Amino acid sequence: MSTISKSTVEHVAVLCSLTLSEKEKERLESMLSETVDFIGVLEELDTNSVPETYQVIGTTNVFQKSDRVSVSLDRKEALSNAAKIKNGKFVTGAVFDR
């Protein structure tokens, strides 16, 4: 009982900037369907009287402390995980302008 279609897999792949082979698409179609179906168990609960939320701890207005300026990394550290560096900048494959 597949809930995810092939076109959905293709759409998600585009959003994630992933190139998938036909075989991978098939595999993901069933894997993603399985995952969604698993979470679908929650549908069995009656949530009509439960308000939607994204936050359960109830705090509001949490802002920066103004004395916290400059916790910046030094450049060497900032770039330390980069696959490629040039002139102090991260380098990636060419992308076009948005």
Nearest-angstrom CA–CA distance, 48 and 37 = 21
The answer to whether residues 36 and 4 touch, using CB atoms and an 8 Å cutoff, is yes
CB-nearer residue toward another protein: 47 or 72: 72
Annotate each residue in 43-82 with x if it binds another protein (CB under 8 A) or - if it does not, as one string.
-----------xx-x-xxxxxx-x-xxxxxxxx--xx---
CB-nearer residue toward another protein: 21 or 55: 55
- Cα dihedral 40, 45, 49, 53, rounded to 10, equals -40
CB of 50 to another protein, least distance (A): 16
CB of 76 to another protein, least distance (A): 10
**φ, ψ for residue 86 (rounded to 5)?**
-150, 130
